[in-house]
Amino acid sequence: MDFQVTGQLGGYDLVGQYRKNAAVDKSGGVRFAELAAAKAAGQSDVQGICFQDMWQARFQGAYYNVMDTSKIDGALWGRNDYPWDKYFSHHADNSVLDWQPSGAEPAMLDAKVQAKIHSTIGKKAIVVPPELEEKMKKEPKLAKRVMAKVEEFITEQDLMNPNPRKGYLIALDENGEIAHACVTSEKMSVSSAEFIEARKAREEKHAAYERMQEESILKQKLNLNKINDK
């Protein structure tokens, strides 16, 4: 799994908008995304909201593409000349799936690379595999879980880099996990694999801790039963 973080620029407060949009509706505990999407579609039951509606209501103006990026080699995705900017459109060209470099990788400060970075600032795009989209249409709860995961990822990145001017590209796999991602700001690039693997390590450590706690509680119960049986 790969993802890339690239540079910084001042301007529109995306973090403030994120916090505003993430507020929970006090009347029913419904997230802004679900409520806004329901209103936009004229629906009273937010349970039937599709993932695309959630995404585009949660992040106004965000791009949504249905494509299978699973065959893209992580080494290519992380290159400075990979055309990840092409996903920032409503109808991304399938040629991005078969892209291959034509020469040596350009430097991050290369004029063309910087132009590509700046073209994504302040924008968000997500790529959903056809298989996952079909699953989420049939399973609204899955769509909500995937949306929560995406929101959590964006929140983590905002905390790590509080600069409000960033661009986000997130590519999901068939299970709703983040397979690739690119976070842009100004004049820097960090491989997403580092962040994704770090998150997995934290989750595994937390799961291991919970298992230890459960085992400790079970041992205490067994010891107590032995004492009571004497």
Confidence (pLDDT) at 192 = 53
Residue 105 has φ and ψ, to the nearest 5°, of -70, 130
Tokens (6 digits) for 148: 């929560």
**Length in residues, the chain:** 230
C-beta of residue 185 within 8 angstroms of C-beta of residue 163: yes
Q: Could you state, in order of their start, the residue ranges of all structural domains in the chain? A: 2-192
pLDDT 10s digit of each residue in the chain, 230 long?
A: 444 544 433 322 333 333 444 443 333 334 544 444 444 444 434 456 799 999 999 999 999 999 999 888 888 888 889 998 999 999 998 999 999 999 999 998 899 998 988 999 999 999 999 999 999 999 999 999 999 999 999 999 888 888 878 899 999 999 999 988 888 887 554 445 555 555 566 566 656 767 777 777 777 777 666 666 66
Confidence (pLDDT) at 187 = 54
Confidence (pLDDT) at 30 = 42
Place of tokens 């999901």: 172
Cα separation, 139 vs 150, in Å, equals: 17
| Single-letter residue type at 151 | E
Q: Residue 52 contacts by C-beta under 8 Å, 6 or more apart in sequence?
A: 64, 128
Place of tokens 């029913």: 28
Cα separation, 217 vs 211, in Å, equals: 10
Q: Which runs of E-coded beta strand occur in the chain?
A: 2-7, 63-66, 124-128, 167-172, 178-185, 189-191
Cα separation, 48 vs 71, in Å, equals: 31
User: Which of the 8 DSSP states describes residue 129?
Assistant: -
Confidence (pLDDT) at 222 = 73
Tokens (6 digits) for 165: 């001017």
H-helix or E-strand spanning residue 119 = helix 111-120
CA dihedral (36, 41, 45, 48) in degrees, to 10, reads: -100
Confidence (pLDDT) at 217 = 76
What are the residue ranges of helices labelled H in the chain? Answer: 14-21, 32-40, 51-58, 74-77, 111-120, 130-138, 140-160, 192-229
